[in-house]
Amino acid sequence: MSGSAVLGTAAMLLLAGAVYAGLVASPPDAFQGDYVRIMYVHVPTAWTAYLAVATTLVAGVLFLWKRDPRYDALTRSATELAVLFTGLTLATGSIWGRPVWGVWWTWDARLVTTAILFLIYCAALLVRALADDPRRGARLGAVVGILGAVDVPLIHYSVVWFRTLHQPPSITRGEIALAPPMLRALLLSVLAFTVLFAYLLALRVRVARLEDVGDGG
Amino acid sequence: MTGWARAAAVARKDLRMEWRGRAAAVTSLLTGLLLVLVLGVALGPDPARAAAVVWVAVGSAAAVGIPRITQAEADQQALEALLLYPGRREHLYWGKAASLAVLLGAVAAVVLAVAGVLFALPLGGRLVPLAAVTGAGVASLAALGTLLAGLLLHVRGRELLMPLLLLPLALPPLLACIRLTDAILTGTPAGVWPGVLAAAVAVFGLACPILFEVVVDDA
């Protein structure tokens, strides 16, 4: 069994466990009722989006430093996953916001900056695709990915700077405001999405390497 | 010739070319003024919105004007010649950033003055703090814009991609400038925003020259 097949199987099993923990084993919320279960998808998706952004940053720096095409394949793959998961974070956030806040969208700083991050990584893919030479495109895409990561601290701290509808983070250092079964479901879901991210990344890197071989790179 | 003298020579060359053609300055300025008018009509004459109108106009004007600063290099393959001169490429970056800062500073000053008249803003007596905020905002836009101009030099449709890259990446300094300009005009506390603006200037000022050397590298 190859490494990526092991990751894929682990991701499937963990996701099945997370579905059980989120939908059956955890109680409904006192205020939000069953809508709180959307959290078990939304929070892990946001976490995975940040993970993809961090991977893009590290792989991009390594690529610019070492100029090894393997790091370019990793940067390219992580950028695509950053677009996918920031997009999913926005979608699941809207689906959660509609029943809980009564609106699909609020002009909250965290929402806006997540949308901005989504656009920056779309632009990174565009720059890569529209460069006049694929090797130059790889370098330019890595540079935009690194710059995009500069925006992440703003997203994180904007919830402190702007007092709006978005609820403050439930889990902060030394203070956990979730019931234990809900916390277990959330952590299991975060773990499942992290393994899923690793699986998708491994798969996409393999495809990217095959593309490079096909292009004679 | 020292590195900084080379940077000054590049800045002088860019400013002289801009003075002769005035293409970037005029189009940027007109875009900025047009946005002040359009947003003013759309949002109404409330002075509370003036700071946001000014900085959205300056950001958009920058997105229109910045691709022009490497136009000569793109048209005449002059970048290769510039890169062949002895010395570090960082100085080429600083020269171009300085000329862009002068250009954007002039555009921002005119946009702010016109918005001051149209929105009846109390600019008098607040010119020093406003100049400091505008200077820092323009410095961060110029630092980022110079990198993006180099980055998009060999990308198809660079005029189309510039707003898509500049406006989201420059969001932290633009938001900080909006809040700080508003705080100066209304006399309210500035909060964390001086720190945000200083951080944006520092981050762009440190990261962009390093990344510029990567993007203009032909290897």
Residue B189 has pLDDT above 90, yes or no: no
Among A15-24, A153-162, B97-106, B208-217, the minimum mean pLDDT is found in A153-162
Rounded-to-integer distance, Cα A132 and Cα B189, Å: 48
Q: What is the arithmetic mean of pLDDT over B92-105?
A: 91
Query: Cα(A49)–Cα(A111) distance, rounded to whole angstroms?
Result: 13
Contacts of B70 in chain A (CB under 8 A): none
Give the residue with greater pLDDT, B47 vs B97. B97
**Cβ count near B9 (within 10 Å):** 15
User: Which parts of chain A fold into alpha helices (H)?
Assistant: 3-20, 39-66, 69-101, 109-130, 134-149, 152-161, 180-214
Choose between B215 and A48: higher pLDDT: A48
In this prediction, residue A203 carries a pLDDT of: 93
CA distances from A129 to A213, B40, B154, B170 (A): 18, 38, 12, 23
Using a CB-CB distance cutoff of 8 angstroms, which residues of chain A are in contact with residue B164?
A: 119, 122-123, 126
Q: Residue A212: which pLDDT band, with cuts at 50, 70 and 90?
A: confident
| Mean pLDDT of all residues in A104-108 | 81
CA distance B191 to chain A (A): 9
Instruction: Give the mean pLDDT of chain B.
Output: 87
CB under 8 Å, gap of 24 or more: what pairs does B84-90 form? B85/B6, B87/B1, B87/B3, B87/B6, B88/B3, B88/B213, B89/B212, B89/B213, B89/B216, B90/B3, B90/B209, B90/B212, B90/B213
Of A120, A132, A144, the CB nearest to B154: A132
- Check pLDDT > 90 for residue B54: yes
**pLDDT, average across residues B185-214:** 88
Which of A133, A151, A161 is facing B171, going by the closest CB pair? A151
- Stronger pLDDT, B9 or A77, i.e. the higher one: A77
| A123 with B156: Cβ contact below 8 A | no
Low-confidence winner among A60-64, A102-106, A168-172, A196-200 (lowest mean pLDDT): A168-172
Q: What is the mean pLDDT of residues A75-96?
A: 94
Residue A147 and residue B169: Cβ atoms within 8 Å? yes
Average pLDDT over residues B77-92: 78
Q: What is the pLDDT of residue A151?
A: 65
Question: Does A127 contact B217 at a Cβ distance shorter than 8 Å?
Answer: no
Q: Is B151's CB within 8 Å of A161's CB?
A: no
DSSP bridge partners of B46: none
Which of the four pLDDT bands, split at 50, 70 and 90, describes residue A163? Answer: very low
Please answer yes or no on whether B161 and A130 come within 8 Å at the CB atom.
yes
- Of the candidates B164, B207, B215, which has its C-beta nearest A123's C-beta? B164
HSE-up of residue B55 (Cα within 13 Å, Cβ side): 26
Q: For the CA atoms of chain A, what is the radius of gyration?
A: 19
What is the per-residue pLDDT across B106-152, written as a single tens digit (0 to 9) for each? 999 999 999 999 988 888 888 899 999 999 999 999 999 999 998 98
Q: Where are the alpha helices (DSSP H) in chain B?
A: 3-21, 23-43, 50-65, 71-75, 78-84, 89-118, 127-151, 158-169, 171-186, 193-215
Predicted TM-score (pTM) of this structure: 0.86
- The C-alpha atoms of residue B148 and residue B155 are separated, in whole angstroms, by 11
pLDDT computed for residue A167 by the predictor: 56
User: How many Å apart are CA A58 and CA A63, to the nearest integer?
Assistant: 9
Q: Is residue A16 scored above 80 in pLDDT?
A: yes
Task: Give me the residue from A113, A133, A140 closest to B151, CB to CB.
Answer: A140
pLDDT of A173: 52
For B189-194, what is the mean pLDDT? 84
Q: Tell me whether residues A131 and B154 touch, CB distance under 8 A.
A: yes
CA distance B166 to B63: 6
The answer to whether B215 contacts A133, with C-beta atoms less than 8 Å apart, is no
Nearest to B154 by CA among B215, B68, B63, B64: B215
**Which residues does residue B155 pair with via DSSP β-bridges, in sequence order?**
A131
A119 contacts on B by Cβ (under 8 Å): 164, 168
Output the pLDDT for position B138. 95
Residues of chain A with a CB closer than 8 angstroms to some CB in chain B: 64, 113, 116-117, 119-120, 122-123, 126-127, 130-133, 136-137, 139-140, 143-144, 146-148, 150-151, 154, 161
Tokens representing B3 are 């590195």
Segment B154-164 shows an average pLDDT of: 87
Compute the mean pLDDT over every residue in chain A, rounded to the nearest whole number. 85
Q: Which two tokens stand for residue B124?
A: 């008098």
* Per-residue buried b or exposed e for A173-199, using 16+ beta carbons within 10 Å of the residue's own CB: eeeeebeeebeebbbbbbbbbbbbbbb
d(CA B72, CA B88): 21
3-class SS of residue B11: helix
Q: Is B12 helix (H, G, I), strand (E, B) or coil?
A: helix
- What was the pLDDT predicted at A162? 45
What's the pLDDT at A4? Answer: 82
Q: Which residue of chain A is at minimal alpha-carbon distance from B203?
A: A150
Contact B166, B129 (CB under 8 A): no
Q: How far apart (Å, rounded) are the C-alpha atoms in residues B102 and B145?
A: 13
Q: Which of helix, strand or coil describes residue B141? A: helix
- Give contacts of B155 with chain A, Cβ < 8 Å: 127, 130-132, 137, 140
Contact B65, B96 (CB under 8 A): no
For residue A214, the distance in angstroms to the closest alpha carbon of chain B comes to 22
Q: Kindly list the residues from chain A whose CB atom is less than 8 angstroms away from the CB atom of residue B157.
A: 130
Residue pLDDT, tens place only, A118-162: 999 999 999 999 988 888 899 999 999 998 887 667 655 644 564
pLDDT at B59: 95
